[in-house]
Chain A
């Protein structure tokens, strides 16, 4: 489920545009009005003037979220939005054209950030965002999924995990470790340093995989 929040006076038109896109791409979504203290996946802000950017400035920036702005064709505003790490800027005057132009980028970003790994058993169902998995460790006949939310153990092997997720974001660096490329901070000769300060050994047989990065 993709959580979308819209802050706009022209809510209906923007909402319809995004709804059409999500339906076309068969994405599960939920659109709500913008509220500062909630966590969403996509934030859409409509701005009219420079003062409206305050809303984006005051909004805590989450790495996992996407920020889209709809505003006038004003280069000062666009550069200011780039400074605020806005992912896409849609011109109000040519909203439909811009939307069409960015559809592929949006879809790519959504697949990249909001793809799930699903696990289901008798008394448990879990959907973990792939982008927030640091690495997957293999221990005896089990795998341990280390993510931003904690850890989860599953009876599986690494190959089966890779086959399930079908994602190029993950790379095997050791017979016991698969790592998420976007969480790699630094690569050393024999180990990898992750952004969460953990280090993982690189297996000799997997050095060629790492060299391709």
Chain B
């Protein structure tokens, strides 16, 4: 039994890239003035090589099973691109860069971070996991950004079943189980905290 939070959004990315490629092809065919064909080719290449992996291979992906909690993160765009194409063309499985043994977890503290959301600069909230290990090591990572609430709840419930203790001072898990929008809930909590 395993639960995955955050999956590669290949279909969405494919749709976006299709539009970009169509734009590139139209420029190439139109060939309005000298050099435009090269621009068209460049647009298509950027769409396939950079935009496609950039959109589809989301930054946030974690998986939990009976033994381990795995998290994927990419140091830079190059790593993201190479991991994406390896996943797509070669290994057909996602590479998780961090693997934590469930048996070594003391508790997981849940908190949140206020972050600006592109492109309009609105404020959003990320849910963070601080995984405290028995030996004193701490692994902190973003566990939930905008979507994936259902997968997240299932994964957390599964971890609770495995005996993992959660310290949830802001009652974020309760809010996630309710129908309330998480951003509104965290905004309210944030205002109360700053009073």
Q: Chain A: residues with CB nearer than 8 A to chain B? A: 1-3, 39, 41, 62, 64, 114, 116, 121-129, 131-132, 147-155
Contacts and interface: CB of A to CB of B under 8 A. Distances in A.
A62 B76 CA distance: 38
B192 interface: no
Contact of B97 (A1, A131, A152): A152
Contacts of A123: 59-60, 73, 126, 141-142
A39 B134 contact: yes
10 contacts: A39-B135, A41-B136, A62-B134, A124-B139, A124-B141, A125-B138, A127-B137, A149-B101, A150-B98, A150-B104
Given A123-B60, A123-B73, A152 B138 contact: no
Tell me if A's interface is mostly helix, strand, loop or mixed: strand
A126 to B, nearest CB: 5
Given A126-B138, A149-B133, 7 more contacts: A39-B136, A123-B73, A124-B73, A126-B139, A127-B138, A132-B137, A149-B137
Contacts of A126: 98, 137-140
A64 B98 contact: no
B101 A153 contact: no
B101 A121 contact: no
Contacts of A147: 137
Interface of B: 59-60, 68, 71, 73, 75-76, 79, 97-101, 104, 106, 126, 133-142
B162 to A, nearest CB: 15
A149 B104 contact: yes
B98 A153 contact: yes
Contacts of B142: 123-124
Contacts, number: 79
Considering the complex of A and B, which 8 residue pairs feature the smallest CB-CB distances, nearest first? A153-B97, A150-B99, A123-B142, A125-B140, A155-B75, A39-B134, A150-B100, A126-B139
Contacts of B139: 124-127, 149
B135 A149 contact: yes
A124 B143 CA distance: 10
Nearest to A63: B135
Given A39-B106, A123-B59, A124-B71, A151 B99 contact: yes
A62 B136 CA distance: 12
Contact of A151 (B59, B76, B98): B98
B73 A150 contact: no
Contacts of B97: 152-154
Contacts of A125: 138-141
B57 to A, nearest CB: 14
Contacts of A1: 136, 138
A152 B133 CA distance: 14
A122 B59 contact: yes
Contacts of B100: 149-150
Contacts of B104: 148-150
A213 to B, nearest CB: 24
A154 B135 contact: no
A114 B135 CA distance: 9
Contacts of B134: 39, 62
A154 B71 CA distance: 13
B114 to A, nearest CB: 14
B149 to A, nearest CB: 18
A23 to B, nearest CB: 19
